[in-house]
Amino acid sequence: MTSIGNRHGSAVITLPSDTDYLVTRAFDAPAKLVFDALTTPELVQRWWGFETSEWLVCEIDLRVGGQWRYVIRERDMEVGFHGEYRELNGPHRMVWTEMYEGVPDPGPENYPVCTATLDEVDGVTTMTLHVRHTSKEERDAVLATGMESGMQVSYDRLEDLVQQAA
């Protein structure tokens, strides 16, 4: 029997350093299938973005040094990301760069670097996605939005503080 949605809302964000964040999520699927869903255009278009997104570009050149680019239209706004595959050890590990196209391009050497590891145990695959911002300038640009700084406070500690002191 396939139960849909029993793991919904279970992604966990942690903050290993000032420039990094980690997303952890388990899936009831073999690592091979999760890897395919991350790297096959037909499958990416079925989950990345939003339910209402219209896909304009979904290009994946799946080899080390190969480029990828996603562009969706969401409420009349085009949202694009692109980058390069750095390491492909399917189905257990891949490394790529990922740059949002809505801000000035800092040059490929300064793109955030994403590392996904897929660990399969008894048919359950735990994905750990590690996102590392690569330069102070790039990080500060994000900090300047006044948004990501919040993310850098240790989430668990913060929750304790808020609940205790509120």
Partner 1 sequence: MARTPTTTDAFSAVAEASRRDLLDAIGTGEVTVGELVDRVGLSQPQVSKHLGVLRAVGLVLVRVDGRHHWYRVNGPELQPIHDWVRHFERTWNTRLDRLDDLLAELQAPEERP
Q: Rule CB under 8 A: which residues touch partner 1?
A: 2-5, 7-13, 18, 23, 25, 27-29, 33-34, 37, 43, 46-51, 143-144, 146-147, 149-155, 157-166
Kindly tell me which of 109 and 147 has the beta carbon lying closer to partner 1: 147
Backbone torsion region of residue 112, taken as left when φ is above 0, otherwise alpha when ψ lies between -120 and 50, otherwise beta: beta
Q: How far apart (Å, rounded) are the C-alpha atoms in residues 45 and 101?
A: 18
Closest approach of partner 1 to the CB of residue 113, in Å: 18
Closest approach of partner 1 to the CB of residue 80, in Å: 16
Alpha-helical (H) ranges within the chain are 31-39, 41-44, 136-143, 148-151, 155-165
Secondary structure of residue 65 in the 3-state scheme? coil
Kindly tell me which of 65 and 164 has the beta carbon lying closer to partner 1: 164
Q: How far apart (Å, rounded) are the C-alpha atoms in residues 28 and 132?
A: 27
Return the number of other C-beta atoms located less than 10 Å from residue 107's C-beta: 10
Kindly tell me which of 64 and 123 has the beta carbon lying closer to partner 1: 123
Pair 103, 141: CB distance under 8 Å = yes
Closest approach of partner 1 to the CB of residue 83, in Å: 17
Closest approach of partner 1 to the CB of residue 149, in Å: 4
Pair 126, 118: CB distance under 8 Å = yes
Kindly tell me which of 88 and 155 has the beta carbon lying closer to partner 1: 155
Kindly tell me which of 109 and 166 has the beta carbon lying closer to partner 1: 166
What is the enclosing helix (H) or strand (E) of 68? strand 67-74
